[in-house]
Structure 1
Amino acid sequence: MLARLLRVVTLAAAVFSLLWALLAWRAGQPWLMAGGLLLVIALHTGALGLEFLLAACLHAQDPTPHASAGQLLRAWLGECAASMRAFGWRQPWRSTREPDQPQGRGRRGIVFVHGYVCNRGLWLPWLTRCRARGVPFVAPSLEPVFGSIDDYVPIIEAAVARLERETGLPPLIVAHSMGGLALRAWWAAVPDAPARVHHVFTIGTPHRGTWLARFGLTRNAVQMRLGSSWAAALSPPGGRAAGLAAHCTCFYGHADNIVFPPQSACLPGAEARHIEATGHVALAHHPEVVSEVEARLLAAAPEPAAAG
């Protein structure tokens, strides 16, 4: 569903740019031909710039070190490129290029869980890397796109169960943004979840909500608001869902343009890893995140006898 929606958006932008170029040519002003494309790019990059400005202004008393102007500029430029690749190419046009590879008896696999208004195409570089290295993986698309986060519990359960069945081992789970909340909802709903997961990595997940979600009107956006009743019910003090922290590493950043204040991306009690000068989408592919997941995967590899 999301892939079709993003295709419509990207094609509409392309048609608009071509019509602009045609009108400029017929008007005898060829120097204006690129104006339509530049306007589309300016709207996209301008909206991202506003998000970074809000994130910087609302850092408030958050204990995370403030991002400098240079770091924010670097994050903005990186996020412009990363988001265009994700929303203009990978998710609308390439989301099915790397089908799931769950097979690999005795090899630990990875479940990838994407975030808000995304699909499995977000993970395309990860999936290509896993396939080349023979790492089993499953990357579901969470639908309905604008439904409740609780609706994604059966999808995650099916992905985890599939890897368990094919590999014989509990998988690693890598979750970006809202995907981390969907994972926590699954953890709270499935009684034997702790025994079925080797380790969890959340990347830019609004564990405590995000200020920006106040502008969202969909069910899952409302659930991600700061202090939402849904988030409070997800992890009551002493509840079983709170045990996820012992199995979790949270990557967060002072230049995240979607999840802010920064500490809202940290699950209390979990290991927190700060990434500097990196925007929200770009966080999902940051080299430090990739290397940490690969190191954990290598360390978690079973002994040959056990694998046999």
Structure 2
Amino acid sequence: MNAAWQRLWSLLRLGGAIALLARGEPAWAVALLLITPLGLLLLFLTLAPPGPTQRQASLAQRLRAWAKECVVNERVFGLDQPWRAGDQAPALAVSARGDKGVLLLHGFCCNRGLWRPWVARLQAAGVPVMALTLEPAFGSIDAYADPIDAAVRQLHAATGHMPVIVAHSMGGLAARAWWRAHGARHTQAPRLISLGTPHLGTRIATLSPATNARQMRCGSSWLAQLPPMPDVDCLWSPCDQIVQPAGNACQPGARLHRVDATGHLALIDTPEAWALLQRALLSDPQLSDA
């Protein structure tokens, strides 16, 4: 579903710009092409303080984060998710070494195409990997628990180990919802690496009437009843323009890892995220560096 409307938006934006150029209106064509970067700029310039104990991002850090976010946004929403979400087959590549597997969970308004660079890199290294598209796109986060459990079991059967779960944004809450629904059936908790997950909610969720967005609102009853997972690394950034305040990306009791000058979507491209995964595959936890 997400891929279809993202393809439509890409075609409308490009087609509209070409039509405006043909009519001799280049300024409007450029404005149409820049609508997303300008919207992102407004978000970065109006960031709320990350929290009472965290230092706020400087203007220079916000602008660097904005520039990186624009690039990643175009790749993810202009190419990987609308056009290349199906390029990841086989979703599960079994390693002869019996390594741990990796389960990749995307966030709100995304699909498995978000993880295309990760899947390619992990498959090249012979690491078993699965990337899910969580459906329904705008339904309850609880609905994602069963497909996540099926993927966890498939990876466990292929490797003999619980997989490492890497989750961006809402995907981290989906992992916690899965653990609430199915955790008692597993003898071991998986390692969860959450990238910009609104563990404590986000104010921006009030802009959407979708069920999963309402669940992610600050102070929602659904969030209040969601138990934490026991083995979690939280990668967060004070320049996160989606999780607001940014400190809400930190699950209480988790290992916290701060990344500066990085926006919400660009967290998936940080060396810190990949390094956390490598340590998790080696079962080498790192102390908090919040």
Match of 1:293 in 2: 277
Shift of 1:7: 0.5
Distance verdict in 2 for CA 1:196–1:95, change over 3 Å: farther
List aligned pairs for 1:140-289, cutoff 5 A.
140-192=132-184, 195-235=187-227, 242=228, 244=229, 246-289=230-273
Paired residue secondary structure (2:269): coil
List aligned pairs for 1:117-128, cutoff 5 A.
117-128=109-120
Asked whether the equivalents of residues 143 and 152 of structure 1 are also in contact (C-alpha less than 8 Å), the reply is yes
Asked whether the equivalents of residues 50 and 56 of structure 2 are also in contact (C-alpha less than 8 Å), the reply is no
Distance verdict in 2 for CA 1:17–1:65, change over 3 Å: same
Supply the distance in 2 between the matched residues of 1:4 and 1:196 (Cα, whole angstroms): 37
Supply the distance in 2 between the matched residues of 1:192 and 1:222 (Cα, whole angstroms): 27
Query: Comparing 191-200 with 8-17, which one deviates more in the overlay?
Result: 191-200
Shift of 1:37: 4.2
Unaligned runs of 5+ residues in structure 2 are: 285-290
List aligned pairs for 1:16-55, cutoff 5 A.
16-24=16-24, 32-33=25-26, 35-55=27-47
Counterpart of 2:259, as a letter, is I
Shift of 1:62: 2.9
Asked whether the equivalents of residues 187 and 194 of structure 1 are also in contact (C-alpha less than 8 Å), the reply is no
Match of 2:107 in 1: 115
Counterpart of 1:8, as a letter, is L
Q: Does 1:71 align with 2:37?
A: no
Supply the distance in 1 between the matched residues of 2:183 and 2:176 (Cα, whole angstroms): 12
Task: Identify the match of residue 98 of structure 1 among 75, 78, 88.
Answer: 88
CA RMSD of aligned residues (A): 1.6
Asked whether the equivalents of residues 64 and 262 of structure 1 are also in contact (C-alpha less than 8 Å), the reply is no
Supply the distance in 2 between the matched residues of 1:63 and 1:195 (Cα, whole angstroms): 36
Supply the distance in 2 between the matched residues of 1:279 and 1:194 (Cα, whole angstroms): 35
Asked whether the equivalents of residues 258 and 280 of structure 1 are also in contact (C-alpha less than 8 Å), the reply is yes
Paired residue secondary structure (1:201): strand
Distance verdict in 2 for CA 1:204–1:60, change over 3 Å: closer
Match of 1:9 in 2: 9
* TM-score normalised according to structure 2 size: 0.93
Supply the distance in 2 between the matched residues of 1:132 and 1:70 (Cα, whole angstroms): 36
Supply the distance in 2 between the matched residues of 1:286 and 1:158 (Cα, whole angstroms): 29
Distance verdict in 2 for CA 1:206–1:142, change over 3 Å: same
Distance verdict in 2 for CA 1:256–1:193, change over 3 Å: farther
Match of 2:288 in 1: none
Distance verdict in 2 for CA 1:9–1:15, change over 3 Å: same
Report how many aligned residue pairs link the two structures: 282
List aligned pairs for 1:77-92, cutoff 5 A.
77-92=67-82
Query: Comparing 189-198 with 128-137, which one deviates more in the overlay?
Result: 189-198
Distance verdict in 2 for CA 1:53–1:169, change over 3 Å: same
Shift of 1:194: 5.9
Shift of 1:54: 2.8
Distance verdict in 2 for CA 1:233–1:8, change over 3 Å: same
Supply the distance in 1 between the matched residues of 2:215 and 2:117 (Cα, whole angstroms): 29
* TM-score normalised according to structure 1 size: 0.88
Paired residue secondary structure (1:249): strand
User: What per-residue deviation string (whole Å, max 9, x for no partner) do you get for residues 200-233 of structure 1?
Assistant: 1000000000011111110011110000011011
Q: Segments of 4+ in structure 1 off by > 2 A?
A: 191-198
Asked whether the equivalents of residues 79 and 282 of structure 1 are also in contact (C-alpha less than 8 Å), the reply is yes
Shift of 1:36: 4.7
Asked whether the equivalents of residues 106 and 168 of structure 2 are also in contact (C-alpha less than 8 Å), the reply is yes
Shift of 1:42: 2.1
Shift of 1:196: 4.3
Supply the distance in 1 between the matched residues of 2:64 and 2:112 (Cα, whole angstroms): 26
